[in-house]
Structure 1
């Protein structure tokens, strides 16, 4: 059972890192340079970064609808 706990922990950490990179991309316009990689590694990195984009796309409307956040104009 400790293996499953570590797997969940590391998975959540990876999603948080991907989400942080997506936030950096959206706010500062900086993206990791993944075009130098080839083949399967390039596809895997792009899918990993897309996970962070999906998390932000899912979380942003939820936070905007809550009373704890407001949009800057």
Structure 2
């Protein structure tokens, strides 16, 4: 049971991080304002905030790592 919870949590964070990456690279983002229920909207915004935080940590790690370099495209 605990293993499934960890797995689903990891999957949710991964999806949220991908959404954050799409938002950062394209400018498109989910319209949470269209969610009528305030509690569900708040949970969705928190969910997306977690992805933003994870994306920021990954980006900072890549910037400070010698294994990554900026593309010349």
Taking structure 2 as the reference length, the TM-score comes to 0.89
Q: CA deviation at 1:71?
A: 2.1
Separation in 2, partners of 1:41, 1:72: 39
Q: Which portions of structure 1, spanning 4 or more consecutive aligned residues, are displaced by more than 6 angstroms?
A: none
User: May I ask how many residue pairs the two structures share in their alignment?
Assistant: 71
Offset, 1:44: 0.5
Partner of 1:63: 62
**Alpha-carbon shift at residue 36 of structure 1 (Å):** 1.1
2:19 matched residue in structure 1? 21
Stretches of structure 1 lacking an aligned partner (at least 5 in a row): none
Q: How does 1:1-73 map to 2 (within 5 A)?
A: 3-37=1-35, 38-72=37-71
DSSP 3-state at the match of 1:35: helix
RMSD: 1.2
Gaps (5+ residues) in structure 2? none
CA deviations on 1:11-64 (whole Å, 9 max, x unpaired) are: 000000000000000000110122111310111100000000000111111112
